[in-house]
Amino acid sequence: MALENIWKSFDGQPVLRGISLDVVGGEVLVLLGPSGCGKTTLLRIIAGLEALDNGRIRTNDQDITQLAPYKRNFGFVFQDYALFPHKNVAQNVAFGLRMYHWDKPRLDQRVTEVLALVGLAGYESRPVHELSGGEQQRVALARSLAPAPRLLLLDEPLGALDRALRERLMLELRGILKQAGGLLGRPEGMTAVYVTHDQAEAFAIADKVAVMRDGRVEQTGPPHSLYRQPRTPFVARFLGMANILSGEVVSVSPCIVCTEIGELEIGDWRLGETSNLQSPILRQAQDKFSDLQILIRPEAARFNGNEKNELHGRLQDISFRGRYQIVTVALGDEAQPVTLKFELETAVSLPPIQSPIRLSLDPSAIQLLESGEQSGEAVESGGDTAV
């Protein structure tokens, strides 16, 4: 599927601004962004439930922009599941198959197959109102998969579940989507577009993530590339990495940046790049005394280490999170300290709160960011993706 320059406004206010995205067969694309960024509107436009103002939607080189929703052969999983409360599980799953006039033996076989796929084998006769939230979510997924749609659309399907169940199901959901292709005659896997505002959910499910902001796609790429290579402060912050400082490049080989916490050596992956010298970040980095923004990843700190980028500060807080702890450190001028947060394994021993502390920052975990808060167009990050 290809989205080409999609625009949409409500009451004169643009909510989608020239979005272009490609989804290849078998790929799970996650639209990730804050509330109001346009991700659900975009999903509804793909489904044909919302008319667009400008742009095109193509599947397999066929223009389906004006095609009625029921002719697109897309499945849709809603956040509230939209199950029929008066029907049992099998009747809910079979609903779409009956609309396509499947004969009973074939219909019964497909219902059995998709219920087994989602982990509900033997649930055929259960009333849906007696099921748990997680089980209802699986029924909704099975119903959408049963007719073998060429594209599956999911609008925050785990949003109504409690955290523990959501974390378990997000891992299972990716496996179901990958296995569904073989069952439904799509060997490359089920192609899907998934909407969420949760970074962990996006990373667990996606082959490719498109981070949205104010109706635009800010950056796309595989989850690991987005985490390792956020291009703007917005993407970095939305992915949970809030240690962003202003700096001035004072040397480019090696790259040294002067910041409010001192001079830092940066091991940015792009500084070794020679094939894209027109990149804005490279042009800025090559100019000495260029103002930039710097991301310090939460895993950058090495406490009491004798390494590069050694700093002295004060331990402000320790927040226990189970397998890891979030450590808050005040650095720089004591009168106006800069507060940074780092993630450490729980086993790492730390001094009492308010104690002086020495740490070093791994250059490979420090990165230059494009200074603009609004990129205006999508930036592709790693992998064989297209925007």
> Same domain for 227 and 283?
no
Q: What are phi and psi of 358, to 5 degrees?
A: -115, 135
Domain CATH code at residue 241: 2.40.50.140
Instruction: Give me 301's structure tokens.
Output: 């700190």
Are 110 and 146 in contact by the 8 Å Cβ rule? The answer is: yes
Average pLDDT, whole number, for the chain? 87
Are 213 and 31 in contact by the 8 Å Cβ rule? The answer is: no
Tell me the per-residue pLDDT of 36-71, one tens digit each, with 9 for 90 and over: 999 999 999 999 999 999 999 999 889 999 999 999
> Same domain for 217 and 264?
no
pLDDT for 285 equals 61
Are 247 and 292 in contact by the 8 Å Cβ rule? The answer is: yes
Last residue in a domain, options 217, 233, 249:
233
Q: In the chain, how many domains are there?
A: 2
Residue 84 pLDDT level (bands cut at 50, 70, 90): very high
Q: Which of 321, 332, 328, 320 is nearest to 354 (CA)?
A: 328
pLDDT for 261 equals 93
Judging by DSSP bridges, how do beta strands 208-213 and 28-32 pair with one another?
parallel
Q: Is residue 378 part of a domain?
A: no
> Same domain for 187 and 239?
no
DSSP 259-292: ETTEEEEE--GGGG--S-TT-HHHHHHHSTT-EE
182-186, 213-217, 308-312, 332-336: segment of lowest average pLDDT: 332-336
Tell me the per-residue pLDDT of 117-154, one tens digit each, with 9 for 90 and over: 999 999 999 999 999 989 999 999 999 999 999 999 99
Give mean pLDDT, residues 219-246: 90
Q: CB-based contacts of 120: which residues, under 8 Å, 6+ apart?
A: 89, 135, 138, 139, 142
> Same domain for 229 and 240?
no
> Same domain for 11 and 120?
yes
Q: Which residue has the tokens 């094939």?
A: 275
> Same domain for 168 and 300?
no
Q: Which residue has the tokens 């069952």?
A: 183
Tell me the per-residue pLDDT of 269-295, one tens digit each, with 9 for 90 and over: 555 544 443 456 656 666 655 668 899
pLDDT at 4 over 50: yes
Q: Is residue 43 part of a domain?
A: yes
> Same domain for 278 and 222?
no
Residue 25 pLDDT level (bands cut at 50, 70, 90): very high
Q: Is residue 382 part of a domain?
A: no
**Backbone angle region of 346, left / alpha / beta, with phi > 0 → left and psi within -120 to 50 → alpha:** alpha
Q: Which of 141, 145, 78, 72 is nearest to 110 (CA)?
A: 145
> Same domain for 288 and 363?
yes
Tell me the per-residue pLDDT of 99-109, one tens digit each, with 9 for 90 and over: 999 999 999 99
Q: Is residue 306 part of a domain?
A: yes
pLDDT at 377 over 50: no
Instruction: Give me 351's structure tokens.
Output: 């001094």
Residue 305 pLDDT level (bands cut at 50, 70, 90): low
CA Rg value for the chain: 24
Check whether the bond before 254 is cis (ω within 30° of 0): yes
Q: Is residue 194 part of a domain?
A: yes
Percent of the chain with pLDDT over 70: 89
Tell me the per-residue pLDDT of 242-279, one tens digit each, with 9 for 90 and over: 799 998 888 877 888 899 999 999 876 555 544 443 45
Q: Is residue 383 part of a domain?
A: no
Q: What are phi and psi of 96, to 5 degrees?
A: -65, -35
Residue 166 pLDDT level (bands cut at 50, 70, 90): confident
Q: Is residue 386 part of a domain?
A: no
**Backbone angle region of 156, left / alpha / beta, with phi > 0 → left and psi within -120 to 50 → alpha:** left
The single-letter code of the amino acid at 184 is L
> Same domain for 216 and 251?
no
pLDDT for 29 equals 98
What Å distances lie between residue 18 and 13, 61, 214, 295, 330, CA to CA? 14, 20, 11, 28, 42
Give mean pLDDT, residues 209-233: 94
Owning domain of residue 259? 235-369
> Same domain for 147 and 287?
no
> Same domain for 48 and 144?
yes
Q: Is residue 380 part of a domain?
A: no
Give the whole-angstrom CA distance, residue 357 versus residue 316: 10
pLDDT at 312 over 60: yes
Domain CATH code at residue 175: 3.40.50.300
pLDDT at 236 over 60: yes
> Same domain for 228 and 240?
no
